[in-house]
Structure 1
C-alpha cells in the first residue's frame, strides 16, 4: 500500500524465497522491494503497536518462545526503520537488500 510503514521480514536460508530483498507492510502484510522515506502522524508507540499486530501474522510468531519477545522485536523493527529513515531526506526512495555475509540490511538510494 502506498504510504504504508514497512519493516524487515524474517530472512530464511532458502535461495529461492526472495525474502532478502523485500520489506513487509505492517497493515497489508504485503511485500515491497522499495520504501519511501516520509513523515508519519502516528506516535512511536502507535507504530510499535501496529508492528506487534503485524508480527502475529508473520513467521516471527512461530519462532519465538515467549510472546513478550514479539513486543521487543516490534520495537526493534520500528526503531531500525526509523534509524534508516533518519539517514535520508524525506521523499528518498530506498531499495533494500539483506547482506548475508554481514547479517544486516543494506539500503541504496533509488531516487
Structure 2
C-alpha cells in the first residue's frame, strides 16, 4: 500500500473513531451508517443498544443494479438514500442519527444523506 493511501485510510479511521464516541444508535433513534467503496455504497440502520442491523441496502445488489445501474455513482447514492428511507419507514423508523463513517460530507455521502431526507428520514 502506498504511503499516501495508508495515511488517508488511517486518517479516516481516526475520524470515524472520534465521531463514534458521541454518535450512538438507540431503539428510538437508530444510527444510519454509511460505507463507501470505490464502486459501491452501503447504507445500514443499526440499533447499537441491541447490536442489531435493522435495515441494510447496497448499490451492489442485483435488483438495485437492474433498476439504477446506468446512473452515475452520485445519482445511485441519492437513489440508495431514498431506498433506505422507504425501507426504514416500512419498519417504523422515522428518525435516525447520521454516521458518515469518517468520510467527508461531500459527493456520494452527501447525496445519500439528501436522498434519505427526501425519502422522509429525519436527522
Q: Greater share of helix residues, 1 or 2?
A: 2
TM-score, with length taken from structure 1: 0.30
TM-score w.r.t. the length of structure 2 is: 0.28
Greater Rg by CA: 2
